[in-house]
Structure formats: structure tokens, C-alpha cells
Amino acid sequence: MTAERFDAQEAHRIGFIHEVVTADVLDAKVAEITQALVNASPQAVKACKRLVQDVAQQDITPALIAQTVQGIADIRSSEQGKEGVQSFLQKRKPSWMI
């Protein structure tokens, strides 16, 4: 908010970024993260984005925790959630990647 400049190590320390890598491995790290995002269930990604928006700036209460737990359970028991588990167990790609 102050427009203060800081380096990558400080950004990592304060939790603004998850990881710092050197330039020679940057492309590989971007490819790894991109692949993880592409592999995820489209419904799960949508639900996760919605969850983040729904809980932002709220106090953590028992009701909010219960709502979050229910949301996660709902996506895991959805058609894509079940397909994700089955494809993992069967060592194959999930249907949304075929």
C-alpha cells in the first residue's frame, strides 16, 4: 500500500510469493505450475475461486469453517471429484484431460 519496493526474498518472507527460483530454472517452474493448473478439475478450480471470494475478509468462525468443509466435501463427491480419485487410483488421465 506504500508502493515500497522489495526484492524476491522479502516477497517470499512475507508470503507474497510461494517460491523464489533462479533465472535458469524459471521456465521449468512456470511449466510445472501451469501443468498443475491444467490438470485440475475445472469444477474444482471454479469452486476454489468461489470459496476464496466467499471467505475473503471474513472472521474465521465455526459457521465459516463448517461452510468451507461442506463446500470441499461437495466438490469431492461431485462427478468430477469422483473421476479425479478414480483416475488417480487407476493411474490414468482424468476425463477432462482427454
Q: What is the pLDDT of residues 28-73, one digit of tens each?
A: 999 999 998 888 899 989 998 998 898 888 999 999 999 999 989 9
Q: Residue 51 domain-assigned? A: yes
Task: Give the position of cell 470441499.
Answer: 72
In angstroms and rounded to an integer, the radius of gyration of the C-alpha atoms of the chain is 18
- From CA 49, how far away is CA 53, in angstroms rounded? 6
pTM as predicted:
0.63
- Check which CATH number belongs to the domain holding 70 and give it: 1.10.12.10
- Contact criterion met (CB below 8 Å) for 41 and 94: yes
Average pLDDT in the chain: 91
Looking at the structure, tell me whether residues 47 and 64 fall in a common domain: yes
Looking at the structure, tell me whether residues 31 and 45 fall in a common domain: no
Q: Residue 97 domain-assigned? A: yes
**What is the band of 8 on the pLDDT scale with cuts at 50, 70, 90?**
very high
Report the domain count for the chain.
Answer: 2
pLDDT at position 37:
87
CB atoms under 10 Å from CB of 63, counted, come to: 10
- Contact criterion met (CB below 8 Å) for 20 and 8: yes
Q: Residue 34 domain-assigned? A: yes
Task: Give the position of cell 474444482.
Answer: 44
Q: What's the domain range around 75?
A: 41-98
